[in-house]
């Protein structure tokens, strides 16, 4: 008997086939549980951050930005580094509209975000996050 004929006979036997499929399903389920339940450290972001007080700029790996303090002045909070496309000015940015989101309407939140994201140097709204790649290249 060849392997094909043996597999064909097993597949024809409905009870045996269902038992094999159930065993395969249980094995896949157990492997999935083991992978998902294994402890893992929280996912960290790597971004360019700027101190709101002393304007120190550096790249950080963090889980949440709320607790980060500046390593230089030890006082200022670190905020996301943004760059104006028009004048290339780099400035710290923290989304204040999200903290007050429950109190305001969506249209007011959008207007507040646009006002928060304006470049403090020229007032333009065309601002982008500072790219990690470009920042590393600029530091060399």
Q: Hey, how many other C-beta atoms are within 10 angstroms of the C-beta on 67?
A: 9
Comparison of pLDDT for 115 and 84, the residue scoring more:
84
Which of 56, 51, 57 has its CA nearest to residue 78?
Answer: 51
Q: How far apart are CA 138 and CA 140, in angstroms?
A: 6
Query: What's the gap between Cα 71 and its chain centre?
Result: 23
CA distances from 41 to 33, 36, 45, 69, 92 (A): 17, 13, 12, 22, 28
Predicted TM-score of the model (pTM): 0.57
Question: Which carries the bigger pLDDT value, residue 138 or residue 16?
Answer: 16
Q: What is the pLDDT of residue 96?
A: 63
């Amino acid at each position: 008997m060849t392997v094909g004929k043996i597999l064909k006979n097993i597949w024809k036997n409905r009870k045996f086939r269902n038992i094999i499929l159930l065993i395969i399903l249980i094995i896949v389920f157990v492997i999935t549980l083991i992978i998902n339940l294994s402890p893992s450290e929280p996912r960290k972001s790597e971004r360019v951050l700027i101190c709101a007080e002393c304007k120190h700029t550096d790249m950080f790996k963090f889980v949440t930005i709320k607790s980060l303090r500046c390593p230089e002045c030890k006082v200022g909070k670190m905020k996301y580094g943004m760059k104006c496309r028009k004048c290339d000015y780099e400035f710290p940015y923290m989304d204040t509209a999200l903290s007050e989101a429950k109190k305001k309407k969506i249209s007011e939140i959008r207007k507040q975000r646009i006002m928060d994201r304006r470049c403090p140097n020229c007032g333009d709204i065309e601002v982008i996050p500072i790219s990690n790649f470009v920042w590393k290249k600029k530091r060399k």
